[in-house]
Amino acid sequence: MRELKFYSDNAVPLEMHKVRVVQKLNLLPIDERLRAINEAGNNTFLLRNKDTFLDMLTDSGVNAMSDIQLSAMMIADDSYAGSATFSKLESKLQELFGTKYVLPAHQGRACEHILAKVFIKNGDIVPTNYHFTTTKAHIGLQGGKVLEVHYPEALIVESDNPFKGNMSPELLKKVIVEYGASRISFVRMEAGTNLIGGQPFSLANLKEIYSICKHHGLLLVLDASLLSDNLYFIKVREPAYKEVDLRKITREIADHADIIYFSARKLGHARGGGICTNNTELYMKMRELVPLYEGFLTYGGMSVREMEAITVGLEETMDEDMINQGPLFIEYMVNELKQRGVPVVTPAGGLGCHLNAMKFVPHIPQSEYPAGALGAALFIASGIRGMERGTLSEERETDGKEHYSNMELLRLALPRRVFTLSQIKYAIDRITWLYENRDLIGGLKFTEEPKVLRFFMGRLTPVSDWQEKLVTKFKKDLGNSL
């Protein structure tokens, strides 16, 4: 990776692009922000975008497209079957991953649905380096169970471990002995473990896990949605790969997985997804479900215009100056907040900056959803929409008891090439103010709780009048209109 030198000590990340198209933002006064979050049931997913100033909910489908991606969308072949556009996407994936077969889907969770339907049987086990919400839900609906097989360091929120997304080979071997290989549907590795701060795995670890899988006749399935971030971290944190070309690293990763699936809302910067494999038998098992659940085999629920953009986006992922934009700006935000004493996940990972709600609001019990409460408070104080990644994102046990998350995080995603440095500095300023007034923040309780993926649709209300008190303090410190 190119190392940028600055004359002064005030080094900042450098945008490797210029802004040519803009979209107007709206910063509501604080009273209107309070109204908006309450109308949304204190669930940031239910906020209207027009009420949001900086949308840091996710990087899925909201990354900025390049000029080349936009121009490619104009030449799409809109054929139902045999589309030349799909052939381009297929060829690009074959080139980068070295896989023969490509199955298109409308997004990553559609891929998870197909994988679960084909491979999961009632009572099956899926070891993973860390679960993801929709993955776990699909596996559970088929009667399977996810087992997290990570090192203890994965759950240490503040550390200097460069690869907290690694899977523990020792624990995996124990799981295989305990449950038997016949009960394990597949082993899942997630590139950039989403729920613990976008933490990567090392290529050395992937190779070791793959070797164990082969020894026991198990499939290794790679969720490559956050591959671009993981590529960056392998390049800068794994000494053996500092001088290795991104294409070679990509191929080496792909060579150590039996099935690769991804959300192109993250990998490729457009809306779609896909499943790739070299195994004809596995391909044939999955293929028949694509027309049933997604669409024909040459579009799979995607717009061909999006497919053209994904093809270009995948090629742009091989550019160091593109894949470094997220991690560099996230690292800047994490370091600035850390200097101000704000508890954040370290080392800085991919996806976004993650606030540690357990330390930010330690007075709020997990039963009152501290990360969700922090998300509501931050929106009131700033107009910034983040995403709860904690107990609210879990589901209750079968007996109705709350399943408490290992971590309580508020994720502030930084979509690629979207925010300017001044906007990130605004976020840092408002988060700092909120941290200095953290004792005012209180908990939340459900008023409407769906049984599955409740964090998407559930509605909550404050357990006290803490939001009004927060607004009063904000107006005293910063005025009515900010």
- 266 part of the active site: yes
Give the span between the Cα atoms of 209 and 191, in whole angstroms: 13
Q: Which of 360, 455, 459, 474 is catalytic?
A: 455
Q: Which of 67, 78, 80, 214 is catalytic?
A: 80
For β-strands 145-148 and 125-128, DSSP reports them as parallel
Asked if residue 263 lies in contact with residue 108, where contact means CB atoms within 8 angstroms, the answer is yes
**Which token pair is 463?**
């357990």
Give the span between the Cα atoms of 206 and 257, in whole angstroms: 9
- 389 part of the active site: yes
Asked if residue 354 lies in contact with residue 444, where contact means CB atoms within 8 angstroms, the answer is no
Give the span between the Cα atoms of 444 and 463, in whole angstroms: 5
Q: Which of 88, 266, 417, 459 is catalytic?
A: 266
- 132 part of the active site: yes
Q: Distances in Å between the alpha carbon of 324 and those of 64, 149, 165, 254, 388? A: 14, 28, 19, 21, 25
**Which token pair is 481?**
């209109």
- 24 part of the active site: no
C-alpha dihedral over 180, 182, 188, 189, to 10 degrees?
Answer: 50
Q: Which of 52, 58, 85, 133 is catalytic?
A: 133
Asked if residue 146 lies in contact with residue 181, where contact means CB atoms within 8 angstroms, the answer is no
Question: Using the 8-state DSSP alphabet, how is residue 418 labeled?
Answer: T
- 399 part of the active site: no
- Name which of 291, 309, 296, 271 is nearest 76 in CA terms: 309
Element (H, E) at 359: helix 357-360
- 455 part of the active site: yes
Q: List own/partner pairs for 71-77 with CB under 8 A and 24 or more apart.
A: 72/308, 72/309, 72/311, 72/312, 73/305, 73/306, 73/308, 73/309, 75/308, 76/303, 76/304, 76/305, 76/307, 76/308, 77/304
Q: Which of 130, 132, 151, 201 is catalytic?
A: 132
Element (H, E) at 273: strand 273-277
Whether omega before 347 lies within 30 degrees of 0, making that bond cis, reads yes
- Name which of 301, 273, 443 is nearest 374 in CA terms: 443
Q: Which of 55, 223, 229, 258 is catalytic?
A: 223
Q: Which of 92, 265, 389, 411 is catalytic?
A: 389
Active site residues: 80, 132-133, 223, 266, 389, 455
